[in-house]
């Protein structure tokens, strides 16, 4: 391939050669990039030596970038489009989660390589994406492993990533450590006051409410389910937010109204959740709403809704959804992921 003296094919995704080319485009020349790095380091290294190091760096393909790869990333970061792509894959509420699981895993394998994976922020989002994928496959231990690898980086990560990680940890703890779940959710609340994109804030808030409501919708520690308290929580989600948040709101209210003895209201809200999820292209959320409708209405309509929900789960090759939909209608299910 042109520009590859070794004769090897160009790597898929983004390579160190692409990265150095981007730096040159940003600064005008390789010498200008080296001059900038030298100045940032107080001229501990001369410009000519740094320029030679950058020339070596661009031959690294997608291997470890070494000292100068790390220094360049610390100084200049990644192109915004790449950071955004990693953020998109790491957000559970993005449509990345609505891809068939094998395709989502293929995309991760493509992008979880240097230099993208060596940028600390992108590294965090890629690990979160891996955690979501393995949890869709019902592998909780692997999910814990992916979260553990980024825990030391979260203090300096963007608020969106910190909330995402805490929500995922709360989900993992929800089976057997209710006290820990409550503590993690308490830790999240003040993070909503920090700067973050409006769409992310709305979706993360809806997911946080959903996990808070889950605590009210099950029996634990001698407490009985309190669907009225869960309803009050779901009504805190704005009605005019992103499609994902509106679907979460409607689906949560559907369950709460049904459990309080208002099945017709619950069914109408479940149908509303289906519409919102469909409008946003959120197929997993649509499948959950269809399953909720099936639980509420029963009969022929319920059987058809459950069939459609299971068809989506099978198309997405999503083991967690499939297992959820196979539970008996009397099971309370699970909020969060």
Q: Do the beta carbons of residue 36 and residue 75 sit within 8 Å?
A: yes
**What's the pLDDT tens digit per position in 256-305?**
999 999 999 999 999 999 999 999 999 999 999 999 999 999 999 999 99
CA distance 97 to 168: 14
Which tokens in the block code for residue 171? 């989900």
Mean pLDDT of 183-204: 97
Which tokens in the block code for residue 97? 């989660």
At residue 85, does pLDDT exceed 90? yes
Of all residues in the chain, the percent with pLDDT exceeding 90 is: 85
Q: What is the pLDDT confidence band of residue 165, given thresholds at 50, 70 and 90?
A: very high
**What's the pLDDT tens digit per position in 235-245?**
999 999 999 99
Mean pLDDT of 155-172: 96
Measure the N-to-C terminal CA separation of the chain; round to a whole number of Å.
43
Sign, Cα dihedral of 152, 158, 161, 162: positive
In degrees and rounded to multiples of 5, residue 13 shows phi and psi of 85, -150
At residue 11, does pLDDT exceed 60? no
Instruction: Please report the pLDDT score of residue 307 as a whole number.
Output: 95
Q: Which residue has the higher pLDDT, 214 or 13?
A: 214
**What's the pLDDT tens digit per position in 298-323?**
999 999 999 999 999 999 999 999 99
């Amino acid at each position: 391939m042109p520009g590859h003296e070794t004769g090897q094919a160009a790597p898929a995704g983004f390579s160190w050669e692409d990265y150095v080319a981007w730096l040159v485009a940003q600064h005008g020349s390789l010498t200008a990039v080296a001059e900038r790095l030298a100045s940032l380091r107080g001229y501990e290294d001369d410009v000519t030596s740094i320029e030679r190091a950058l020339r070596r760096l661009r031959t690294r393909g997608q291997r470890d970038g070494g000292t100068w790869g790390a220094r360049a990333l610390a100084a200049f970061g990644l192109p915004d489009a790449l950071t955004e792509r990693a953020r998109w894959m790491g957000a559970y509420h993005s449509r990345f989660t609505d891809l068939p699981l094998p395709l989502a895993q293929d995309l991760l394998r493509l992008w979880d390589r240097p230099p993208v994976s060596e940028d600390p922020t992108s590294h965090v989002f890629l690990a979160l994406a891996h955690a979501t994928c393995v949890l869709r496959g019902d592998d909780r231990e692997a999910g814990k492993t992916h979260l553990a690898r980024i825990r030391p980086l979260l203090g300096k990560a963007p608020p969106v990533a910190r909330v995402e990680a805490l929500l995922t940890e709360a989900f993992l703890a929800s089976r057997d450590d209710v006290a820990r779940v409550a503590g993690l959710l308490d830790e999240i609340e003040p993070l909503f006051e920090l700067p973050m994109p409006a769409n992310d804030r709305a979706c993360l808030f809806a997911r946080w409410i959903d996990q808070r409501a889950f605590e009210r919708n099950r029996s634990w520690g001698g407490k009985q389910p309190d669907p009225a308290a869960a309803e009050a929580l779901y009504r805190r989600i704005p009605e005019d937010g992103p499609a994902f948040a509106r679907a979460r709101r409607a689906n949560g209210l559907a369950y709460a109204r049904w459990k309080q003895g208002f099945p017709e209201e619950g069914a109408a809200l479940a149908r509303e959740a289906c519409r919102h999820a469909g409008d946003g292209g959120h197929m997993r959320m649509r499948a959950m709403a269809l399953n909720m409708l099936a639980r509420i209405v029963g009969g022929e309509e319920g059987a058809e809704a459950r069939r459609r929900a299971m068809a989506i789960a099978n198309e997405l090759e999503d083991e967690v959804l499939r297992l959820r939909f196979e539970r008996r209608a009397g099971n309370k299910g699970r909020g969060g992921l």
